[in-house]
Amino acid sequence: ASAPFLTQWTTHLYGQHADNRQFTAEDRAFSADRTRDNTCTERGIGLSTQGQAVLRGALPQRLSFGLDLAQSNISGERDGTVPPFGETFPAKPFPDTRYRSTGAFLQSEIDTDSVTVIPALRFDRFSLTPTATSGFTGETVDLSDQAVTPRLGAIWRLSNSFAPYAQWALGFRAPQPDQVNNGFSNFASGYKSIGNPNLKAEHARSIELGARGQLAVLRWQLAWFDNRYRDFISQQLVGIDPDDGLMTFQYVNLTDARIRGGELR
């Protein structure tokens, strides 16, 4: 932090090992007793670094910038006794997967006497790579994508009790590994879930208008938002498989979706 304009710099290295287990035991009166033992394990490492700087001159501004790198190895298994008709235990609902993500951003806060303008730019990239795993019977596919998303916001400080603001932004959300590659069948109940090798990342265009302020000890905020999505990710019933007669569910991309509303706090 020897540079005269650099005011803050923090870096974190981290590791995570998370185990999730769901166990149930059923004492049934007219059928064989059974158990279900479902586990999910995630091992991850990552690096996160962020800094702030102050630029002086003709256009004074405060810069924030950062970089995030992460890799996770995810695995899951379904086990137990007395499996459903047509299934065998143990089984895997999705293949073991390596998931990598990269994110970088740059944001500026340009202050005048009463208005703050906040432009920002972010880069995201992800990749998921399944590994051949015994116990998973579905098809697998590698998937990766990237996007650059800008954002522009402004705050107008008319007074302490009333400050209107506006924000426009583009968004990007990567699909999860179990949305792309998964396989699960329940013949007794007549349905199954399959992966989607053609699943795309979700893109959004968002507008938010609002105002905030403070009256004595009371702080308030009013907001209206309108989010429009392209390739919105949703799990849908896509039909009945003629080969096995099962209702088939799949994560798919909806061409357009819209979420809008208001909030008062």
Mean pLDDT, all residues of the chain: 92
- pLDDT category, 134, cuts 50, 70, 90? low
Mean per-residue pLDDT, 74-86: 89
DSSP character at residue 58: S
Q: How far is CA 119 from CA 5, 31, 108, 150, 192, in A?
A: 19, 63, 6, 8, 46
Which of 45-49, 78-82, 163-167 bottoms out in mean pLDDT, i.e. has the lowest?
A: 78-82
- pLDDT category, 1, cuts 50, 70, 90? very low
Residue 2 pLDDT more than 70? no
pLDDT for res 184? 84
The model carries a pTM of 0.84
pLDDT for res 146? 96
Strands 247-264 and 191-194: parallel
Which pLDDT tens digit goes with each residue over 14-58?
Answer: 999 999 999 999 999 988 999 999 999 999 999 999 999 998 877
